Structure 1
């Protein structure tokens, strides 16, 4: 069995401003770097065999900070773990999105949740084959984690409106049955000055 811990990257300026990032490559801010350190501290004490990231800079830097503190080589970039593509929504706030698009209007370039889940499971399945009987740290994105957890929980209503905080962790296992959700507890820590921002839901 392979164990995966999925961690959402640290905060960026677009997170702070409530802007939809998608696959736009926005770097961490200083708060995000501090969150990466705290996430690593929360996960210390376990044995880790590999760390991967989506390859977008905010995930890659988070993974690099965590890997250094956890004593893991890497990270290795896995493009299949990139954030959900939001097309023409990227860079907009929720208010700007509502002003530009009707609620039921198709958004050019918006990737479906089903497509996100499919490519994520393909990527994790390949990692499970490469790292059998291992613990793998996966640093990725809020929209991807939310889509995957909704799919694996088999009760999507539980996740309606739920935040995926920066630095939060979600546990999966992968064996002969395929992927199983082990824990969706979320953040191992919480900001004291403000609640962590999630990717705006679309």
Structure 2
């Protein structure tokens, strides 16, 4: 099973570098264009399903892609919601965002929790879709940059950089575990 992890298109808060987290901020016009461009990149593959985070920006991105590819919009998985930045949502981070809560980010969701949710979502998608689509299926998963980054980092065992709006990163279930094939559309070598 192969999953194409797509970060949602741009929002006004993305454009202003504001932390969105679990705030439900809609796509802007650029974000909608990015969703159409993502669908164009995916058009030459056979997709069994498209699923997403339940937040509006991810759901709309998924809806645009599904419509353009002619596939049904599937389930929303709550585990795919973006990292909760709590009291810092809607603000611009002026310092590095920590893995754990600290004085500057007192109530953010810890990194381990986000990675755990993300990996749990991949497990749930696999368990839900496998009986419907089979082991050789390809599924588009639209969610959020930080959760994608943290789950890819957890799979690879090393830090993954920024995930771009509407960029695709590919993971594959093989030999009883997930492996990362690409990040932001760039292939990941077996040695990395």
With structure 1 as the length reference, what TM-score do the two structures score? 0.82
Aligned to 1:130: 128
Query: 2 CA distance for matches of 1:168 and 1:45?
Result: 16
Matches within 5 A, 1:154-165: 154-156=157-159, 159=160, 162-165=161-164
Residues 118 and 148, structure 2, Cα contact 8 Å, conserved in 1: no
Cα deviation for residue 105 of structure 1 reads 2.0
Distance 1:83 1:22 in 2: 5
Q: Cα RMSD (Å) of the superposition?
A: 1.8
What are the Cα deviations for residues 47-88 of structure 1, in whole angstroms up to 9, with x where unaligned? 001111101000000000000111110132110001011111
Distance 1:174 1:187, change over 3 A: closer
Match of 2:79 in 1: 80
Aligned residue for 2:103, secondary structure, equals coil
1:125 aligned counterpart, secondary structure: helix
CA distance 1:131–1:107, shift in 2 (3 Å)? same
Shift in Å at residue 167 of structure 1? 0.6
TM-score by length of 2: 0.86
**Within 2, Cα distance between the matches of 1:108 and 1:56?**
24
Contact 2:53 2:142 survives alignment (8 Å): yes
Aligned to 2:180: 181
